[in-house]
Structure 1
Amino acid sequence: MALTAITLLCFAALLPFPGLGDRDHSGEQGPVLVKVDVTNKFTNTILSYSTSVPKGMPMFGVLNKLQDSQSLNFTYSISKSYGIYLESVNGVAGSVANHTYWELLSKKGKSVRSLDVGIGCYQPKRNEIFIMNFTRWD
């Protein structure tokens, strides 16, 4: 029941109405160019992808589009409590034993911030780079 409520709230935020789910809505409609960087601090690698998607598409949809059309590959699981959880990117999976995970970040200009929602609810914005950063927690 809680998962249903969370899912409905996320989908409601994604409806194509001006202002819903988008705090810095500019009034512009149409496609959004989404840039995605996959970084791995352990191997010092950065892979970049980009695609154009309808405004309001969640990152889960963006990642599926990239998986269908480019060499990006990802896996996920669905938590009854928290929704879609990113497990692996391009064959690299997080590990509880090694304290590693995929951190989700947003870069706009010089500012980089951690996201407070996952790929199921997050909507990328214009002039932003979505970063999936393979890292470790302490």
Structure 2
Amino acid sequence: MTVRETILLSVMLLLLDSGLPADGDALRALPIRLSVVDSISNIPVLTYHTAVVEGGVLLGAMRRLQQTQDHFKFTVREDPDFGLFLESVNGVGGTASDQTYWEVLLESSGTTVRISTGIGCHVPKANDHIILRRTTRPKAGLEEFTEQ
């Protein structure tokens, strides 16, 4: 066996053992629910049902939803250090002057928490309820700034 053949065989074996689906294996779709909540205005809550591939990230599910639902749109902004930030949902964006932004929440078993990673890294589980909520940053009071 030549060196080239040995290298090709080694690469093929690594790919087979990588846990990636082989050709012909179907990716399992996990259902998730996604709600859009604008806590600032009186826009009604919109709820969508979509799926994410097992092990896939929230961004993929949101892009799939955007491709299949004409009334769901979103934009992101990429920061070179911190990754993707949700910039707007359904044409409504956050603004620096009003200190508004979109936060991503996860509701599970009656508890709602802010996800610890961005939409480009968060890996949803089956039947997760993702909430995209437009909200306002808390105004910092002077009492919070004390000299040490």
Corresponding residue for residue 61 of structure 2: 62
Structure having the larger proportion of residues in strand: 1
Inter-partner Cα distance in structure 2 for 1:67 and 1:136: 25
Superposition pairs of residues 1-138 of structure 1, within 5 angstroms: 30-44=28-42, 45-70=44-69, 71-138=71-138
Match of 1:6 in 2: none
Cα distance per residue 1:95-131 (max 9 Å; x no partner): 1110100011000121100111110000111232000
Where 1:36 maps in the other structure, the secondary structure is strand
Can you list the C-alpha shifts for 1:66-121, whole angstroms capped at 9, x where unaligned?
A: 10001210011111001111100000001111010001100012110011111000
> Within 1, Cα distance between the matches of 2:47 and 2:80?
31
**Number of equivalences:** 113
Alpha-carbon distance, 1:42 to partner? 1.9
Give the C-alpha shift of residue 16 in structure 1.
Answer: 5.6
Give 1:40's aligned amino acid: D
Name the stretch that deviates more: 113-122 or 50-59: 50-59
The two structures, once aligned, show a CA RMSD in angstroms of 1.7
Deviation at 1:43, TM superposition (A): 2.4
Gaps of 5+ in 1: 1-14, 18-28
Give TM-score scaled by structure 1 length: 0.76
Question: Against the structure 1 CA distance between its residues 54 and 101, is the aligned structure 2 distance closer, same or farther, given a 3 Å change threshold?
Answer: same
Matched residues in 2 for 1:57 and 1:31: separation? Answer: 9
Relative distance call for 1:127 and 1:37 in structure 2 (3 A) is same
- Cα distance in 1, alignment partners of residues 77 and 87 from structure 2: 7
Match of 1:3 in 2: none
Alignment CA distance shift 1:50-1:98 (3 Å): same
Higher radius of gyration, 1 or 2? 2
Q: Compare relative contact order (CA 8 Å, sep 6+) and give the higher one, 1 or 2.
A: 1
Aligned-residue identity in percent: 32
Q: Contact 1:109–1:128 at 8 Å: present in 2 too?
A: no
Unaligned runs of 5+ in 2: 1-17, 21-26, 139-148
Q: Structure 1 residues 65-74 or 39-48, which shifts more?
A: 39-48
TM-score, normalising length: structure 2: 0.71
